[in-house]
Structure 1
Amino acid sequence: MATETTLILFKPDAVSKNLTGEVLARFQKEGFSIRGIKMMTLSDEILAEHYSHIADKPFFPSVRGFMQEAPVIALALEGEDVISRVRDLLGPTDSVAAPAGTIRGDFGFKDADAKMRNVCHASDSPEAAADEIKRFFKADEIFAY
């Protein structure tokens, strides 16, 4: 197993529903360590970069609108195989399909917005994690201990 660092974004639904503490506790219970954490409002520019793979799609304005409804909390989390393990803890992107016991299954919306209002974003690979951490954190905002 490799020690990795991943990016988690607590989406506006998690922040608005006051779920961030409970979800963070689940991550910490797994033994993951916080390397960086901050609350922020996402600009059009950062969203266009983060969602560049869908920025030209007709539904992107609704994604941008949702991600700007409330602040998000960016979290750099470190641990053994953290990328795949966090994604397993979250469950499928579609909260409707996420089983009970997963974060999205327990807290995600169960409606037409279940793929977007799904509590957290998590990096899907080491390369994506490195890029995403640089996007949301300055070098001096990531800590080792």
Structure 2
Amino acid sequence: MQKTLIILKPDCMERKLWGIVLDRFAKVDLDIVACKMMKLDQAVLREHYSHIADKPFFPEIENFMSSRPVIAMILKGPEAISRVRSILGPTDSKAAPAGTIRGDMGADKMFNLVHASDSPEAAEAEIERFFGGDPIFE
């Protein structure tokens, strides 16, 4: 069993697509083992996006991701990381095939509805970042 972090981004929340997104994960037998709604602040966003925090486009991402509360979750299941990423489709929604969350409902690279961990190492760090000390119901 593997755990991964997802964040239902501001566009997902604003467009009230969270139910459809969660239903797609439920249909492939991924379990929610932790969940919380939160407002992302500058400190956590700079840590989370440290690999691009020095890029000229980062302020736009920071403004978007802090624009409204998001839902952070830990999903668990066999090969959860690769399965979640497959269900989501590529980061750029315009390149995502029909049948994926981003292909069906996303707009572009930023307005792509859901963040998901891309590796076991990233999942571990992101779970600690967003749920460190919080209960995880395994």
Which residue of 28, 45, 61 maps to 1:47? 45
Which residue of 93, 97, 117 maps to 2:111? 117
Q: Which runs of 5+ in 1 are unaligned?
A: none
Q: Which residue in the other structure is 2:26 paired with?
A: 28
Provide the alpha-carbon RMSD of the alignment: 0.7
Q: Which residue in the other structure is 1:104 paired with?
A: 102
Q: Does 1:137 align with 2:135?
A: no
Q: Tell me by how many angstroms 1:21 deviates.
A: 1.0
SS at match of 1:142: coil
Distance 1:98 1:52 in 2: 25
Letter in 1 for 2:131: F
Letter in 2 for 1:124: D
SS at match of 1:131: helix
Q: Tell me by how many angstroms 1:140 deviates.
A: 3.2
Q: Does 1:126 align with 2:126?
A: no
Taking structure 2 as the reference length, the TM-score comes to 0.98
Identical positions, percent: 59
Q: Which runs of 5+ in 2 are unaligned?
A: none
- Residues 14-39 of structure 1: per-residue CA shift (max 9 Å, x gap): 00000111101110110011110111
Letter in 1 for 2:118: D
Q: Tell me by how many angstroms 1:138 deviates.
A: 2.9
